Amino acid sequence: MTDAPLRHGRPWPVMGALGFAGAALVVLTGREIAAAYPAHLPMVILLAAVSLGAGLFLGARLVRWLAANNDPADAMAPALGFVAASLPLSLLLSRLGRGLAATAPAAFFPPGLATALLAGLVPLGLALGAAGALAVAAARRAEPTQPRKIWLYAGGGAVLGALFIVLVAVPKLSPINACLDIGIGCAAIGILSAAAAPAGNRNYETWLSLLAIVFVLLLPLSGLFDDKTNAWCEPAAAPAMPATPLALPAPAAPAAP
């Protein structure tokens, strides 16, 4: 019975990882969109909060039945895996949505702004909301007398995530590289959570390790991914092809003998 308190899936580092990943990607995505639409910064902030909040709410609602009828500590590891996979995916969806809506007519604000935020932050919010609800439920079962402890971990992780983007990712890493690095960290925390889960399912540790290896293998290609996906964002910036072939210069007349 002495090791019973240890079989709670480690919800506190899980919540710290969620705070880190969520804040990092919100700052990274918001920075890109604000740079693309500098005249609409208040709208960027408002729509980012609405998009992320809607995703968090829906994600928490989706897993509420799981946390009520099962031990949530058993599901935190796969939830962290989904969070890790959602990080680069959300950034790519944001860029794709901005590019697809770049040429649409604007009524009150550029449609690419709303599309980029919805496509990028709603999927991220779904993954964070589901994993966060499981972590909160697991923490309440492990230590019912300390409900605020988990929020301290989440807040600390969020501050570190925002600083990571500003101080490390922006000057030294490409955005896709930063997403992959954070995803590797989330997978590592998921492995630790799976090792301390009550069910002790080793399959979670295996596929989270594989996910981390895939992210490591993709790191050298992150610069190429950034170059290609940045072209999605500004399709009008591509050089226009001439409507007719360029006329070849006329050959010079032969010199008189």
Residue with tokens 């909040």: 53
Q: What is the pLDDT of residue 252?
A: 53
User: What six digits make up the tokens of 142?
Assistant: 């492990």
User: Tens digits of per-residue pLDDT, 60-103?
Assistant: 888 877 656 677 888 888 889 999 999 999 999 888 888 776 66
Q: pLDDT band at 200, cuts 50/70/90? A: low
DSSP string, 37-73: -GGGHHHHHHHHHHHHHHHHHHHHHHTHHHHHHS-GG
pTM of the full structure: 0.82
Whether pLDDT at 5 is above 60: no
Mean pLDDT of 105-132: 83
pLDDT of residue 248: 42
Place of tokens 């989904």: 82
CA distance to 3, 70, 78, per residue, from 196 (Å): 10, 16, 13
pLDDT value, residue 6: 54
Give me the DSSP letters along 157-194: HHHHHHHHIIIIIHHHS-HHHHHHHHHHHHHHHHHHHH
> Region 220-248: what's the mean pLDDT?
61
Answer with the residue of higher pLDDT: 71 or 158.
158
Which amino acid belongs to residue 220?
P
Is residue 197 a contact partner of residue 77, using CB atoms and an 8 Å limit? yes
Q: Is the pLDDT of residue 193 over 60?
A: yes
